[in-house]
Amino acid sequence: MGAEICEKLMCQTIDIEVPTEERSPASAVENREELFVPPLNFSMVDYGVFRSSFPGTANFSFLQTLGLRSIIYLCPESYPEANLEFLNATGVQLYQFGIESCKEPFVSIPEDSIRGALKLVLDEKNHPLLIHCKRGKHRTGCLVGCLRKLQGWCLTSIFDEYQRFAADKARVSDQRFIELFDTSGLE
Binding footprint of a second copy on the chain (CB under 8 A): 9, 12-13, 34-38, 40-47, 62, 151-157, 160-161, 164-165, 167, 179-180
Question: Does the active-site annotation cover 6?
Answer: no
Between 96 and 163, name the residue whose CB sits nearer to a second copy: 163
Catalytic pick among 11, 75, 133, 154: 133
CB of 98 to a second copy, least distance (A): 27
CB of 47 to a second copy, least distance (A): 7
Between 97 and 121, name the residue whose CB sits nearer to a second copy: 121
CB of 54 to a second copy, least distance (A): 14
Residue (of 76, 56, 186, 54) closest to 130 by Cα position: 54
Between 5 and 35, name the residue whose CB sits nearer to a second copy: 35
Q: Which residues of 138-149 are buried (b: 16+ CB within 10 A; e: fewer)?
A: bbbbbbbbbbbb
Collapsing DSSP to helix, strand or coil, 43 comes out as strand
Residue (of 150, 148, 153, 134) closest to 186 by Cα position: 150
Enumerate the active-site residues: 133
